[in-house]
Each structure stands twice: as C-alpha cells, then as structure tokens.
Structure 1
C-alpha cells in the first residue's frame, strides 16, 4: 500500500552532465481517472520557469536526481505539489516521450525540445552550453499546451472531418499524427497518446484555456473523430 499524494501532477524534463542538471521544460498535467485502470492524459500546460511553483518543482527535482544518482543523460520526473510540498511519483532515466515536435516548441519561445537538448549535449556540447546550460534552462515566450484524445471504447474511425474544426480556434497551432478513417481505436486507459497530439499557442492565457476547454467538449462528444464503437 502507498499513501495517497494529493495535489496537481507535474513533470520536469532534464539533461544532466557530470551531476549538473539542466531543465529543458516543465509541465502541469491534467488527468482523467479511468475506473478500473490508470489515468488518461488530457492536457499538458508548460510552466513559466520564473513562477514560484515552477521554481519549487525544479529545485526539488534537482535534489531528487542527486539523491537517486542520475549523473549523466536525460530524465523525466513526475512530481505532485501536495499539501505537504513537492512529492515524487517517479523518475525515468530517459527522454520524456514522443510528443516533442520541434516547431511548436520553437514557436513558444523554447530553445527546442528535450530531444534537441540531448542531441546537442552529445554531438555539439558548445551549442548545448550556449542554448541551455548558460541560460539556466528553458524560457517561455507564449502560453503553450498540448491536448490528447480520449476514446470511450473499442471501435473504428469512420471520419476525421471534425478535426477541421480545430483550425477555427485562435490558439490552435498544429495537430500531429492524426488517425485516418479505417484506423482502430480502443478504450483510453493510460498515457500513450493514441489519436495524435494537438498543440496550442497563445499570448493570452484565458484564450488558450477557452480553446482547450472547447477541444475537451468536442472530444467528449465525439465530434472530432467519428468512431463506430463495437
């Protein structure tokens, strides 16, 4: 048994060199509990690294990496800001995952993705130092978020015409790896990102939040992917 940890869940992506940890990006996650399973990802919201909560998470994560002996390479650490302060969920000594398209990251004012940083650290260390380490990590010029699709069961995609609706939302930036008609889907029970990822960029946080909420409502109604559920 484990003690339940309350609070919002975050993750912090890092690249370490000789025990020095550089944060490439840090996000707040929203999760949908799936009865009988785990949680399904809904959104990721990029943190402003200058805000108090982000600074607390980053400082805590670096202490965690020291404690568990991460010296070189990438890591992704999931942390909750609980009522008792930051609490570690898990750390993986790996890159964060596949949703790291470079263009939206650059458009949001970052120097690239965690994968970008790792590549530079390995083959162009001077570039890594200039773009990341000397800056103390990442910076953010715009509000930046990602949304994931949630499917309600096993079925087959009949149409993807509804995805065109997303282009009408002001914060919409791009939609990567969408499904096509005839693709199979199954009940979303975890965080694999089936259906692709939608990127949002905005100057106004209220506009981004409004568009994300519109996306969630459309996805919940099945208005984006038309699926014949079996």
Structure 2
C-alpha cells in the first residue's frame, strides 16, 4: 500500500517502483492528485492544468460558458457583498449557495432573499466541508427546476479526440430538496438518454475529461433542456459493483479501470441485463439502530440484489438529512416494474414500522 504524505515526487516514485500502469481517482477529493501523479508518471490521464474545472463548481460553470454550453448561471466569490450585489442584478427569484469543491448535498442552501443569502453565507463561509476544503469561496447559482438525472461514463482518446461511452443513465427522484429517494435506470435506447448523452459529451469535452470515468448530474429544465449541476471525474459513489455487474453486465468502476488501462472506453458487458433496476436510498426519520428482524426481511425481498452501507443488526444510524447521512442504498432489479415498486413500498413500510426503532443509549 502506498500512502501519500504530501510529497508528489515520493508518491510517484513509490508507484513507479510497483509497476503501476494506471491511476484512477476513487472519489472527488482524489481527482487533482490522481491527475498529477498520472502526468508525472507518463500514464494516461486528464491534464492536471485543468483540474480545477473538474473539482471547483465555479471553474466548471465558467468552462461551460467559454465553450458555449448551457450551464447554471453562477458567481464564485469569497465576499458576501459581491454575492448580494450579483444576486440583486439577476432576473430569477431563487438561488443556490454552496461550497465550491464539496460533494453531494453538503452545504447546499436554497435562498430566495438577501436575508437568506446572508444567513446561509454565515453558516458556510470559511468552515471545513465534507471533502476537506475550507469554503474560502462559495458558489452562488440560479436554482434549476426540473427533473434531475445522473449520467455515468468512461472516456479514452481515439483519433486525436476523446471518445465517450455512456454506461448508465438514471432518473433521480428525491423527497424535498436534500433527501435521496430512489434512482431508476433508463434504457439507453430511449430518446431522453440520447439527448443527455449528447449534452454530457459536450460537457466532458469542455471540462477536459478525455480519460477515465465521469459521474455527471444534469437537470432537465422544461423549455430549456439539459443543464449541468456538476460533473466529477471519478466513478459514482455509494456504488455496489457486484450488484451492478449482475443486473447490467458491467459496472462503472470496472469499466473506468478498463478504459484507462486499455484505452478502450467500451462497456464490459456480459450476461443478462435486467429491464428494471432501482437504487433505493434508506431514510432514517430518527436516530436509532438497525432492527435485526426488519433488516433481515428487507434484505430478503425478492428483487434485492445488493447494497452499500453498514447494514447489520444493531448498527447505529443518525436521522437522515442528506445523502451523506443515509444509512445505505439498496439495489433492486427485476423483469417487471411492478415487482420493483412492490419491494420499494415494502422497504418504506419497514422503515415506518421500526427498521431504526431501537434507540441508541
């Protein structure tokens, strides 16, 4: 095992000694380091000069503007006065204030007035975020309204330009603004995934993602079309590779490694693809611990194929307020939508009847 201690040269030397052939960032926080190491070792990777486009949401939005791609109208600033002045000049009523380099729904605040922007700024500015950043600057954006989608992809150079292969398209359904509910896999031959693929390919090019994985979140705004929320140059998080291989024949993590090593972004498909696949995020309405009987019932539901999270009897859980506080995510797959929906309802019923019932003392 190689642990990075802050010295890029030492880490690169250790990897070289081990004959490493490819470097893929596992999470958002590792993207700049992975790109620097790949560049130093002469391995395939996205150029580190443009790493900020792939981590900072302000630089990301600016790259889209430069490329003529529709993106969220944004301001990146470290000054509240500038944020308030910019907001006052816009012609839309609602805004999103969030960290520049965090992930998920960490620190995301929806604001509809100067007072709400001030209050959210006071909470966020100069505090640590979930990805280890300091929130020295924040991103103020228009609030997009529509249906949210997730697009997973892998890329590799081909003929002097990047070739992007799209591995999964998901429609993201939520409860309110921050609680993840379920994500349903879309068939890639449908019209909407094709539209999302065309838009996302342009985004990937603008952000300089030519090698490896990307996890892109897009809002489809009625009357406007796809608009980027954010794009991460790494595999999707909260992901069960074994379950995804079973139900789709491939998985984002394996596909990403394959693309970087071989230079071929094609999906590694084998086996039967299920017609319906859903990822259900568990939602704890209170602090507690997982009840053994109800958990056993949940994991034995007919369409359950896998899960992510510490789902074991007695494990403590906190009340779910966002994706980072969900107890876990369960993968369901079936040949009929009715079977998926029946087990989804059963999961929510188990939660309501005491899945998190035992109070932690």
| Residue 107 of structure 1, CA deviation | 2.5
Cα 1:28/1:163, change in 2 over 3 Å: same
Corresponding position of 2:355: 224
Q: Residues 130 and 165 from structure 1, CA distance in 2 versus in 1: closer, same or farther, beyond 3 angstroms?
A: closer
Counterpart in 2 of 1:25? 168
Question: Any gaps of 5 or more consecutive residues in structure 1?
Answer: 133-138
- 1:227 and 1:29, CA in 2 relative to 1: closer, same or farther beyond 3 A? farther
Q: Is the 8 A contact 1:158 1:228 kept in 2?
A: no
Report the equivalent of 2:230.
90
Q: What is the CA RMSD across the aligned residues, in angstroms? A: 2.5
Contact 2:241–2:252 at 8 Å: present in 1 too? no
The runs of 5 or more residues in structure 2 that have no matched partner are: 1-94, 96-140
- State the SS of the aligned residue for 1:228: coil
Residues 185-207 of structure 1, C-alpha deviations (whole Å, 9 max, x = no match): 22212213642321111111122
Greater C-alpha Rg = 2
Counterparts of 1:1-230 in structure 2, within 5 Å, are: 1=95, 2-18=141-157, 19-33=162-176, 39-83=178-222, 84-102=224-242, 104-108=243-247, 110-125=248-263, 129=266, 131=268, 140-153=273-286, 155-157=287-289, 159-166=291-298, 169-192=301-324, 194-219=326-351, 221-228=352-359
> Residue in 1 aligned with 2:41?
none
SS in 2 for 1:223: coil
**Which is helix-richer, 1 or 2?**
2
d(CA) in 2 for partners of 1:82 and 1:96? 23
Structure 1 residue 182 displacement after superposition = 4.1
Instruction: Measure, in 2, the Cα distance between the counterparts of 1:140 and 1:159.
Output: 33
In 1, are the aligned partners of 2:163 and 2:210 still within 8 Å (CA)? yes
CA deviation profile, 1:103-157 (whole Å, cap 9, x unmatched): x22332x23211010122233456x54737xxxxxx943211111211223x331
Partner Cα distance (1:49, 1:190) in 2: 28
Residues 78-122 of structure 1: per-residue CA shift (max 9 Å, x gap): 0111102111111111111132332x22332x2321101012223
CA distance, structure 2, for counterparts of residue 180 and residue 40 of structure 1? 22
Relative CO higher for 1 or 2, CA cutoff 8 Å, sep ≥ 6? Answer: 1
Match of 1:106, SS state, is helix
1:166–1:86: structure 2 CA closer, same or farther, 3 Å change rule?
same
Query: What CA deviation, in whole Å up to 9, does each residue of 1:29-68 have, x standing for no partner?
Result: 11123xxxx6121111111001111111111111111122
Change beyond 3 A, Cα 1:152–1:130: closer
Higher strand share: 1
TM-score, normalization: structure 2? 0.54
Change (3 A) 1:172 1:60: same
> Following the alignment from structure 2 to structure 1, what is the Cα–Cα distance between the partners of residues 267 and 282?
36
Structure 1 residues 228 and 151, CA gap change in structure 2 (3 angstroms): same
> Take 1:163 and 1:177, find their aligned partners in 2: how far apart are those partners?
13
